[in-house]
Amino acid sequence: MSLPRRFLLPLLAAVALGLLAVGVSACGYQSHEKDVMEGEPVELGELSFNVTFSRYLNVTDTEDSAYLVGQEPAPNGYTYFGVFFEVQNESDEPQTLPSTISIKDADGETYDVLPSESLYALPFDGEVEPQEQIPVLDSTAQLGPIEGSVTLFLLPEAANENRPLILHIPGADGENATVTLDL
């Protein structure tokens, strides 16, 4: 049984519009999960965290030396690791960033974030103004090569073999999120 042509064209148009709507809504995808992959935003309270990039840092590289301001040379067998963030406050009230974050490897070893003097550093315990982001627009970190605020970790070389590395972000309301880092 075939449909008359006058019904077929509107039916095809409706299907095409439905597919277009699905595609457009996927562009603004936001996960409500608290366990995400690097590059996927995760909401904790009124803040949305997005790990935009993570990588080992090279102290002899000009770009990386800006992220490592104030850090001692890494001891033998250790390497600095940077996790770059964008944090968005879409509420109408200032929101406070966590005081710390950590990384856990597949063997269960935990690595705490290092204090940082870098202009690119995520301002722990700092406030994100209403309807604003970290890094702040037109700041050194936002205009930098990675366009994100960095958190630093000192990882043993063995951590590279103990993947996945999982970033743990505590939320203000006691809720936590984890981000599987892409190495």
Tens-place pLDDT, residues 111-122: 999 999 999 999
Neighbouring residues of 106: CB distance < 8 A, sequence distance ≥ 6: 162, 163, 164, 165
Rounded Cα–Cα distance for residues 67 and 144 (Å): 10
Rounded Cα–Cα distance for residues 169 and 99 (Å): 10
Both structure tokens of 58:
């090279």
pLDDT digit string (tens) for 8-35? 455 444 444 444 444 444 444 444 578 9
Question: Which of the four pLDDT bands, split at 50, 70 and 90, describes residue 6?
Answer: low
pLDDT digit string (tens) for 125-181? 999 999 999 999 999 999 999 999 999 999 999 898 999 999 999 987 788 999 999
Q: What pTM was computed for the model?
A: 0.81
Rounded Cα–Cα distance for residues 69 and 60 (Å): 12
pLDDT digit string (tens) for 70-121? 999 999 999 999 999 999 999 999 999 999 999 999 999 999 999 999 999 9
- Examine the pLDDT at 5 and tell me if it is beyond 70: no
CATH 2.60.40.1240 for domain 31-180, yes or no, is yes
- Residue 19, pLDDT score: 46
Cα-Cα end-to-end distance for the chain: 55
Question: Which of the four pLDDT bands, split at 50, 70 and 90, describes residue 3?
Answer: low
Question: Which of the four pLDDT bands, split at 50, 70 and 90, describes residue 64?
Answer: very high
Rounded Cα–Cα distance for residues 170 and 158 (Å): 25
Rounded Cα–Cα distance for residues 88 and 122 (Å): 13
- Residue 121, pLDDT score: 97
List phi, psi (to 5°) of 24: -65, -40
Alpha helix ranges (H) inside 110-152: 140-143
Per DSSP, the three-state class of 107 is coil
Identify the residue whose tokens are 């070389």: 157
- Residue 183, pLDDT score: 78
